[in-house]
Structure 1
């Protein structure tokens, strides 16, 4: 059985991302924001999705795709009967005039490598999720696309007639395609783009050099850090779960969700990943997003918000064919209405470094004590509620072990913050909630399994309780932690490190694929309990489920290793970074593997 893979590289500049197929097609790109309509969307509909490709005239050709080392610049080499050429795709990003330059600009450089290749360039953008086909008109050296929300144009040194009529031409010199939204390209084409390419390459390489990325499988960790970086919407600091919508968790499952939003539940793990690589800029921007998003909330936090803090993310279904025919295609996400009470602890523990990390001076702490107090109050108010849990069950509410674990960790963080700022009342409340949380967690213990179940009153296991070990609720050196891990393995370990979230029936039946973040949690838990050889072995195996340029999906089918779910999944790359960091600390040696 052939393994299903996502044959795309992804570029971005913290303002937008673009998925580029190995055949050079821009298969997915949303403008002007991550959560806007696609402007190219053949990923979800070949007919309505438009096209932007640089293909040879001949129908039979081979390609090779790769990143320029330590950058988010993507190269696709194409070989056909008439010759060989390379397409270099990038989103400009560099520092100038005391700020980051990150325009809504997609640049494609085409270079002849051998022979006399004949190419056909197609550029047919769409609007309103395929419902609008703009009118293309020729300028002096550009094509203007009329009927979209802003000025969209393609500036190029290729004959405009060839592009407009989709005729072939011989590539005998470097060609450039600059696709812009809003402000057009200003300045001479060749000189400006070569300068942008040089500066963008240097920016990404300098960013990597300033990251403290561990030596354990460093190349994979670097790629994960780079892809995670471009999932941050820099204007607000939000980090999206993925840049795509409606890629199914498994074929025909209808588990097709829009992930182009910011989940509060991911806060701790994402910030931990950035802290592990020593990048505070991203953490600080994310903190600002959290502060701005939650400042007016008085009763509870939503599980997720829009990238500029929108609360209502109303779910709709679109009239699109869907990825490989998988429907529905959804935009919006009704999970914003769910009750997920673990979010309060996630927020509190994410604030702790602002007080505990001495590298952050006091004036940079943004005086978030009011936010700490408010969030602690929310734990107290909602303590006895059942909730939808981490996995966002739509028709199941329980007293989840994971929720109480983050009540415990959040209260523990608040206790430490209270000590730093000398707030006795806050400290006393945090201590009370810490004790109550421990009592609820213990109610999840199942003696016959020697492990902690998904929720109070049930015996089914849940991979989220791996966090009991990783958050040091259970000391990894104790028999209790080792027994709990064995209980989880017995029910949820698929093979070779892959791990199911849970096995029971939910709103859409039993899960058919494993969840990659759970696999990385498992790797971390193994390291915590001293089973380091297994941890390393499974880490190495999980890496094999990445695609040709090292990107990870949300889910993996244990039977054939197929990639499924939204792609690339920021959570999966967070998992890789955190697992690599955990193993490296255990190894505590500089050897490159």
Structure 2
């Protein structure tokens, strides 16, 4: 928190806002920023504590996990030793974080980055840099690195190499290199230091990490150079992908956040940086999101193509093709970032965020049947083919075989997009996405991009799906497509049927949008669905649903309502423009894993669609 324990603040001292104060050692989820290097990512709280970092990769065991267990998770703290308030931003066009601490004795600025490396040089495998600049007065600071390898299960050994403290566990090692930041001391499985910095002075703390390879101890000048190069690289990347429109800043920050979810070695895009952040404080809805979901694929490719990211689009598409080949023709719900399809779920002996256990690693949803994934896969391939004009012959053959599978698989009940852990049902959204799968396959075949030997069968099955949906999944009483065949509860996921062009009854789809707007929306918040899902407790409002509704309103000519809703949603981001999975409507608190890729994908998609519709109307 923003005051030093045992030292009462003077009336003239800056005080933290209520949103900065930790409860039981836990920072508000809304207060986290993210930094990353394309291989892993860290969460940094407003009080300067790095509370989450998986090493060596984003989906690796956490070395810092205090966000999930304040006592045992480990962290890297850095803050003034007297009361302060904070101001934060990302350096423009970058994923480099700037935090300014204002105290009664002066002001300091901290720059945090996971540095980008030139692979042609011998550098640490991963490197967290924290640069401290004195802006005014003279400010005392303290810092502490408390690594907890392998989710805290591996014993940490502390020693010194070439004068620098080094923490090791097995074949993992990290060093703490401090320049003008006090003499590091080792005690109680922590490396810590104290120093005072005055106006015009600069300190630097580097934390290089190595996994199964020699740990390289850097020189200060090399660290400074890498930090400057990292800022320049981010700015160059952002400059190459401009977006002009009403929500420019929100779109560009979302794109930069998504770039941090791209696992550079494979091209996969993770759903989030974290695991097990709760959808309800004290609830059981805590899942591991450090995987790549097929359900996000069409949005992901569309965003990359719309905003001029062909390299990311190409890498992601081929990662998806290689990953799905392992289970062809069936699809898994999610795949590991390296393309693997096994994600056994286990529970860690951690308390969970604010006591919200269990803390899970792995995700049992990988074993579920979710039929909508076939529509997402085919929509993704269709978009890629339209953009490039061709498909690899082997990929084309496999896509045709997937369409053949959908012709019979669509008749099964499934777990649906929301991955309910209750008996499978005939979810409307799943059937709509099976329709999309066959429609896109037919279009690809008609353009000679995939084999067309079963085209008539695809057309016939698509028509059967239409009949099933129109006869059993629309409620005249609700004036809406419902959540599942024969049900009366509602589901915001059917909005995706509209966004992906499900070719049923257009009047019914427009009525559904109006019904969902009226019955599931509360201010800017949209519930995922009504009805039960087999899990205890509740949850917050799922942000992607709100953006889907805004986009649907814009696409159906209700531009004033769409723009008004988008403006409200953009205002719900935290102070550095990030979104979690959900928000608690009563408090505005973030819930669920963060930063949530689907929230940012849905924001960009809605912003682009509404901007385009507005331009068309103005012509």
* TM, length-normalised to structure 1: 0.93
For 1:481 and 1:163, how far apart are their aligned partners in 2?
A: 65
1:114 corresponds in structure 2 to 136
Contact 2:526 2:542 in 1 (8 A): yes
1:169 corresponds in structure 2 to 195
Contact 1:493 1:500 in 2 (8 A): yes
2:104 corresponds to 1:77? no
1:314 corresponds in structure 2 to 344
1:329-368 alignment runs, 5 A limit: 329-357=359-387, 360=388, 362=390, 365=392, 367-368=394-395
Contact 2:329 2:401 in 1 (8 A): no
2:483 corresponds in structure 1 to 454
2:280 corresponds to 1:250? yes
2:236 corresponds to 1:188? no
- Give 3-state SS (helix, strand or coil) of 2:150's partner: coil
> Aligned pair count?
582
Distance 1:167 1:389, change over 3 A: closer
Compute the displacement of 1:508 (Å): 1.8
1:413-452 alignment runs, 5 A limit: 413-421=440-448, 423-442=451-470, 443-452=472-481
Compute the displacement of 1:155 (Å): 2.2
Contact 1:143 1:160 in 2 (8 A): no
For 2:575 and 2:113, how far apart are their aligned partners in 1?
A: 18
1:14 corresponds in structure 2 to 38
1:42 corresponds in structure 2 to 66
Compute the displacement of 1:32 (Å): 1.1
2:268 corresponds in structure 1 to 238
- Give 3-state SS (helix, strand or coil) of 1:86's partner: strand
1:67 corresponds in structure 2 to 90
For 2:170 and 2:203, how far apart are their aligned partners in 1?
A: 26
Compute the displacement of 1:168 (Å): 2.2
Distance 1:148 1:121, change over 3 A: farther
Compute the displacement of 1:209 (Å): 1.6
1:210 corresponds in structure 2 to 240
For 1:525 and 1:361, how far apart are their aligned partners in 2?
A: 28
Distance 1:474 1:451, change over 3 A: farther
1:565 corresponds in structure 2 to 592
2:400 corresponds to 1:400? no
1:253-292 alignment runs, 5 A limit: 253-292=283-322
2:492 corresponds to 1:463? yes
For 2:617 and 2:556, how far apart are their aligned partners in 1?
A: 22
Contact 1:545 1:563 in 2 (8 A): no
Compute the displacement of 1:559 (Å): 2.0
Q: Show CA shifts across 1:51-99 (max 9, x none).
A: 21222222x22111210011000011112343321110112226676x9
- Give 3-state SS (helix, strand or coil) of 2:205's partner: strand
- Give 3-state SS (helix, strand or coil) of 2:532's partner: coil
2:568 corresponds to 1:552? no
Compute the displacement of 1:254 (Å): 1.1
* Superposed CA RMSD: 2.4
For 2:124 and 2:464, how far apart are their aligned partners in 1?
A: 48
Compute the displacement of 1:186 (Å): 6.0
Contact 2:93 2:239 in 1 (8 A): no
Compute the displacement of 1:103 (Å): 4.3
For 1:339 and 1:18, how far apart are their aligned partners in 2?
A: 32
Compute the displacement of 1:129 (Å): 0.9
Contact 2:133 2:203 in 1 (8 A): yes
For 2:155 and 2:573, how far apart are their aligned partners in 1?
A: 35
Distance 1:293 1:5, change over 3 A: closer
* TM, length-normalised to structure 2: 0.89
Contact 1:120 1:163 in 2 (8 A): no
Contact 2:365 2:419 in 1 (8 A): yes
Q: Show CA shifts across 1:84-143 (max 9, x none).
A: 21110112226676x9x9941111111111112112121121112122341221233422
More deviation in 155-164 or 301-310? 155-164
1:219 corresponds in structure 2 to 249
Contact 1:141 1:155 in 2 (8 A): no
Q: Show CA shifts across 1:451-500 (max 9, x none).
A: 11111111211000112322233699x543331212222331122x3100
1:501 corresponds in structure 2 to 528
Distance 1:299 1:589, change over 3 A: closer
Distance 1:72 1:163, change over 3 A: farther
